[in-house]
Structure 1
Amino acid sequence: MSAPITPPLTARANLRWAVVRPTLERLAPKDILELGCGQGAVGARLAQLASYTGVEPDEASWKVATERVTPNGGTVLHGDHHKVPEGAEFDLVCAFEVLEHIADDRGNLADWVQFIRPGGKLMVSVPADQHRFGPSDELVGHYRRYSPEQLTDLLASVGCTDIAVRRYGWPVGYALEAVSNRVSAKKLAEPAAPVSEVAEERSATSGRYLQPQKKVAGQVLRLGMAPFTLIQELAPKRGIGLLAVATGPKG
């Protein structure tokens, strides 16, 4: 096997991974399915922890994800969840920043949970609070943001139990989001590079938006965000993102 690859994470993804990583260590899944894995920055990390399968519909992102995940022993399928072999089951099914891109979030989630092995877990992250919906959400094709109650109800509606939802990203996430909104508002207003009016088309490229590609940039972001990954633990009920963990409907 080639040397393991650990791609750079965005600032927000560093905050999220700091919450996801210890949760994974506690759950200790033997195999993981990630839906909408983007360019595989998280997938490459997951593949170092367990047998990993990722799914990504955007061709450009899928190619990058494959290059990153394969050396770590994982596999990335090109397409949506229908590409997962029929009857396949996993200890953990996860999707990070995906549900908000889907018009029929409940319908797709109902399909996803069928891949959870009896007793297995679902882990999803989404942006928090509809009142915070702004230009950055519009630019990348979000349909909505969620409150903890809405996310809990959504997971319960597809048969999940033992649902735990926490926030992450306090306090620096608010500043990051404000900057992202300003940059996105300018991009949306650029006549020379019009943004598609179709949410699905904006979603298709969202996994590539503002993703760091250089190793040095990733190290700078990781070191710069390190103090904030610790500070956010002081306020797990505050922040701009939600992370939910639940037991699948097969119990």
Structure 2
Amino acid sequence: MSGARLDAGRMDGIAPLSLNAWLRLDVVARLFPDGPADVLEVGCGQGGFGARLAQRHRYLGLEPDARSFAVAERRLRAAGSGRVANIRLEELPPERFDVVCAFEVLEHLDDDVAAVAAWAGRLRPGGRLLLSVPAYQHRYGPADELVGHVRRYDPAALRALLTGAGLTDVRVRHYGMPLGYLLEAGRNVVARRRLGRVGAATPEQRSAASGRLLQPSVPLRGMLHRWGTAPFRLLQRVTPGTGPGLIAMARLPSKDPA
């Protein structure tokens, strides 16, 4: 998929993205397999990516948080294509997809091994799993705690997790250099102030709310985010070996011919 097709300008008025999401989208757009394809997004949040994916692919998003689901459903309806369901993966009837996506989801889950296995189990032979996570456990900070992150990932650990699920052709790359580091530092400052006020919230409640945190709801702000991140999206392309976020893609092997 070309970045130009995924980065549809008219989507700014339907599904604006956060600053960090624009950085992530730039990498995802260039990694995403050519379509059209059957695409499942696990934990689609408010549908910012989903509205864009649905423009070219047969898209289904799953979002268990009712408030985020309501926003995503409205955005997919406005985009004129794609579906979203207010359920968890285990509630989805048996169905397989060409691409399964999970952006900023894995770090919230206690059993990441089981999660990756479940996601891989929804792939057709030769299908691709595409996911993003925050990078490096030593960078775990107040912002991670605030939104219910269980962990962050070193690149080698992420590769091992994917290969352990039987996936091959694993590719892991960083994103977010240098703007992502500044955004992360700012989130940590804010999180230190907020943690005392959300201390009673469970990790599950914090994770559910994380999809709504820092999400722009005003189209104009979404457009400012898009153009404001443009030079940084170009810059991160020449620094793929560093950044506070990781994006990984792996393939489920095709069945041997009979």
TM over 0.5: yes
In structure 1, the residue matched to 2:5 is: none
The Cα of 1:212 is off from its aligned counterpart by 0.5
Match of 1:73 in 2: 81
Q: Whole-Å Cα distance in 2 between the matches of residues 164 and 6 of structure 1?
A: 31
Superposition pairs for residues 114-193 of structure 1, below 5 Å?
A: 114-189=121-196, 193=197
AA aligned to 1:15 is L
Contact 1:121 1:245 in 2 (8 A): yes
Contact between 1:158 and 1:249, CA under 8 Å: does it hold in 2?
no
Alpha-carbon distance, 1:199 to partner? 1.1
Q: Distance in 2 between matches of 1:104 and 1:194?
A: 24
Aligned to 1:107: 114
Q: Which amino acid aligns with 1:144?
A: R
Aligned to 1:18: 26
Does the aligned pair in 1 maintain the 2:167–2:251 contact within 8 Å? yes
C-alpha displacement of 1:194: 3.0
Residue 93 of structure 2, aligned match among 82, 85, 88 = 85
1:60 aligns with 2:67: yes
Q: Match of 2:231? A: 227
1:217 shift after superposition:
0.5
Post-superposition shift, 1:171? 1.0
Q: Is the 8 A contact 1:127 1:146 kept in 2?
A: yes
Note the alpha carbon deviations across 1:81-113, whole angstroms, 9 max, x for none: 013221x11110000000000001111211111
Contact in 1 for aligned 2:131/2:247 (Cα 8 Å): yes
Q: Distance in 2 between matches of 1:183 and 1:57?
A: 26
Verify: 1:196 aligned to 2:196, yes or no. Answer: no
Q: What is the alpha-carbon distance in structure 2 between the residues aligned to residue 76 and residue 204 of structure 1?
A: 16
> Secondary structure in 1 aligned to 2:99?
strand
User: Please, which runs of 5 or more residues in structure 1 have no aligned partner?
Assistant: none
Match of 1:217 in 2: 221
Amino acid at match of 1:8: P
Q: Which consecutive unaligned segments of at least 5 residues does structure 2 have?
A: 1-9
Percent identity over the alignment is 48
Matched position secondary structure for 2:244: strand
- The SS at the match of 2:211 is helix
- How many equivalent residue pairs? 244
Deviations 1:150-172 (A, max 9, x none): 00000111111110000000111
Partner deviation per Cα, 1:40-98 (whole Å, 9 max, x = no partner) = 11111111120000001100001111111133311111121013221x11110000000
Letter in 2 for 1:147: D
State the TM-score, normalized to the length of structure 2.
0.91
Q: CA deviation at 1:249?
A: 5.0
- Tell me how far 1:28 sits from its aligned partner: 2.6
1:29 is displaced (CA, Å) by: 4.7
CA deviations on 1:106-146 (whole Å, 9 max, x unpaired) are 11211111111111100010000001000110000000000
SS in 1 for 2:148: coil
Q: Distance in 2 between matches of 1:29 and 1:230?
A: 26
The code of the aligned residue for 1:219 comes to M
How far did residue 250 of structure 1 move? 5.2
Paired amino acid for 1:34: E
Displacement after TM superposition at 1:196 (Å): 3.3
- 8 Å Cα contact 1:29/1:91 also seen in 2: no
